[in-house]
Amino acid sequence: MNKTLRCTLIAAVAVASAGAVAQDAYVIGVSAAMTGPAAGSYAPAVEAMKAYLEHVNGRGGINGKQVKLIVLDDSAEPSKAAANATRLLTQEKVVLLLNSSLSSTYAPMVAEAKRANVPLFFAGAVCPKDTYPPADAMLFCSTAFGANFDSQAALGFVKDNAKGPVRIGFAAMAIPIARAEIDYAEGLSRTLGMTPVDKEISPPPTPDYTPFATKLKEADPNWVYSWSPWVSQVRTFEALRRLGWTGRYITWAHLNAEEELTRVKDGEFYVIGTNAFFQDEPPMAAEIRAVAVRANLKYPVTYLTEGFIAGLVIEAALRNTPWPATPAKLLAAMNNLKVDLKGLRGGPLEWTKDNHFRTKQYYRVWRWDAGKQQVVRVQDWRAIDVKR
């Protein structure tokens, strides 16, 4: 009894609130890891995206319509993500579904999105391989990092900057996606003429990285490459340095990389990434700062680039979607899209029918310069073609 009563109550409210929503808005739904252990890497992107879209609304919206962004938390739990997707699709009738969460939430959301024929856009979350050419019809991705391409770019940088033969070590966190990528990188390093010497996989919560670093150091690499969540990347490096290792370390530039470089202050700690640093003063920097202040975001502005890129992509896609918006029209727009990212990346983000990742991926490399006491760029945009 209790349950039915409760359900009817919720139903009544749901109907009432659905009626209250003005129908002249583009409705977009997000399921994101806003709490839980992984929240630190996803919440800033989602909040930045939300702030940007509110900013767009303030300017008069898109095609004269407002954008309504509904954010639901899934704490990186698959079952919650599935429930969120169902709710966003059936109750809120979203034209676009977004995922900003751990890869464990992908499968249920993909299933729900496909059932409803609504495009699913990964923003801030690892791009699934299905968005690479030949792309899955419904899945899109704008997130900075892309498996395989990142390792190609990073190892390419190592090859170009190495003086003499490269003995390379690898470090990763024990999560499936990072382990797969580091295995790929190990294979790749051989084809590039390097000598892979050791590979250390550390479990996610590790009180002390020294034991892993000790083994890595004993293999005596002159370069180490790591592609993992930031904790694992930087902790392994710090532990290596404390053990007296003097080699060079290259790793992926996550949201907090710019802030972290100034904390770590090590000249041989390189980060490679596709999103511009604020240090580089991209044309949009002032706008991001202004929006962040207005929305009262609690994260440093350097964390927000990823979310703004997702916001720009959504804006462009919706602009090409004639009113009244339907998932099918939006899908058509997304299948042929070129977004000017205003300097936040090396070039425009381009989606084609065949490629829902991007046609070109641009990489920059940064490090800390002790002489100048600031972060410096050591390699400017270098493009890698994304082909099948």
Partner 1 sequence: MQLVVNIVVLASIYALIACGYVLIYRVSRVLNLAHGELMMLGAYGLFATASLFAGYPLAAIVAAALLALAVGGVVYWTLMHRMMGEAVLAAVLATIALGILLRGAMVLVWGAQERHPLQVLGVANASFAIGDARISSVGLTLVAATTAVYVGLYAFLRYTVWGVRMRAAGQNPLLAAQRGIRLHATYALAWGLATFTGGLAGMLIASESALDQTMVVIGLKAFPAALVGGLDSLAGALVGALIVAAAEVLLIHYVDPLLADVAPFLMLLAMLMLRPWGLFGTREQLDRV
Partner 2 sequence: MPHASGYFRTGYERDLALLDTRTQKVALTVFASALLAFPWVGAPFLLDLANQVLLASIGAVALMLLTGYAGQVSLGHAGLLAAGAFTAGILFKEFGAPFWITLPAAALVGAAIGVVFGLPSLRLRGLYLAVSTLALHFIVIYAGSEYETRRGFSTGVVIQPPGLSTGFGDWVLSGARSWYFVLLAFATMTLLFSLNLLRSNTGRAWRAIQGREAAAEAMGVNVSAYKVLAFVISSTMTAVAGCLFAYYRGFVSAEAFSLFLTIQYVAMVIIGGLGSLLGAVLGAVFVTLFPYAIEWLMTVVPTPADWSNSLFALNYAAFGLVMVLFLVFEPKGLVGIWQRIRNYFLLWPFKQKPLSGPR
Binding track, positions 57-76, relative to partner 2; x by CB under 8 A = ---------------xx-xx
d(CA 167, CA 189): 10
Question: Applying CB under 8 A, which part among 9-17, 254-262, 271-279, 318-326 lies near partner 2?
Answer: 9-17
Among 25, 83, 162, 376, binds partner 2 (CB under 8 A): 83
Residue 103: contacted member of partner 1, partner 2, none (CB under 5 to 8 Å, by partner type): partner 2
Cis amide prior to 207 (ω within 30 degrees): no
Tokens 């300017």 label which residue?
Answer: 59
- Report the run of H or E that residue 171 belongs to, with start and end: strand 167-173
Tell me the closest approach of the beta carbon of residue 178 to partner 2, in angstroms.
9
Which of 305, 282, 252 minimizes the C-alpha distance to 51?
305
Q: Alpha-carbon torsion 327, 329, 333, 336, what sign?
A: positive
Q: Is 180 in the site for partner 2 (CB under 8 A)?
A: yes
Q: Is 1 in the site for partner 2 (CB under 8 A)?
A: yes
37/133 with CB nearer partner 1: 37
244/371 with CB nearer partner 1: 244
Binding track, positions 103-122, relative to partner 2; x by CB under 8 A = xx-xxx--x---x-------
Binders of partner 2 in range 289-348 (CB under 8 A): 296, 298
Torsions phi, psi of 128, nearest 5? -70, 150
d(CA 152, CA 187): 11
Among 82, 118, 213, 231, binds partner 2 (CB under 8 A): 82
Under 8 Å between Cβ of 381 and 274: no
Interface residues with partner 1 (CB under 8 A) are 35-37, 39-40, 43-44, 174, 200-212, 214-215, 230-231, 235, 238, 241-244, 256, 263, 298-299
243/328 with CB nearer partner 1: 243
Question: Applying CB under 8 A, which part among 84-92, 219-227, 314-322, 329-337 lies near partner 2?
Answer: 84-92
**Would you put residue 64 in left (φ > 0), alpha (ψ -120 to 50) or beta?**
left
Among 177, 216, 250, 334, binds partner 2 (CB under 8 A): 177
64/244 with CB nearer partner 1: 244
Residue 212: contacted member of partner 1, partner 2, none (CB under 5 to 8 Å, by partner type): partner 1
Three-state DSSP state, 76: coil
Residue 73: contacted member of partner 2, partner 1, none (CB under 5 to 8 Å, by partner type): partner 2
DSSP per residue, 173-236: ESSHHHHHHHHHHHHHHHHTT-EEEEEEEE-SS-S--HHHHHHHHHT--SEEEE-S-HHHHHHH
Tell me the closest approach of the beta carbon of residue 106 to partner 2, in angstroms.
5
CA angle 281, 142, 30 (to 5 degrees): 110
**Number of other residues whose CB lies within 10 A of the CB of residue 168:** 28
Tell me the closest approach of the beta carbon of residue 116 to partner 2, in angstroms.
10
Question: Applying CB under 8 A, which part among 172-180, 228-236, 363-371, 380-388 lies near partner 2?
Answer: 172-180
Q: Is 79 in the site for partner 2 (CB under 8 A)?
A: yes
Helix/strand number for the chain, H first, E second: 12, 14
Tell me the closest approach of the beta carbon of residue 247 to partner 1, in angstroms.
15
Strand 360-369 and strand 120-122: pairing?
unpaired
- How far is CA 243 from its chain centroid? 32
DSSP per residue, 332-379: HHHTSEEE--TTSSSS-EEE-SS-SS-SEEEEEEEEEETTTTEEEEEE
CA angle 308, 83, 316 (to 5 degrees): 25
Among 30, 55, 77, 260, binds partner 2 (CB under 8 A): 77
Residue 275: contacted member of partner 2, partner 1, none (CB under 5 to 8 Å, by partner type): none
Binders of partner 2 in range 226-285 (CB under 8 A): none
Residues of the shown chain interacting with partner 2 in the complex, contacts defined by CB under 8 A? 1-4, 6-7, 10-11, 13-14, 17, 34-35, 43, 47, 72-73, 75-80, 82-83, 86-87, 90-91, 102-104, 106-108, 111, 115, 128, 176-177, 179-180, 296, 298
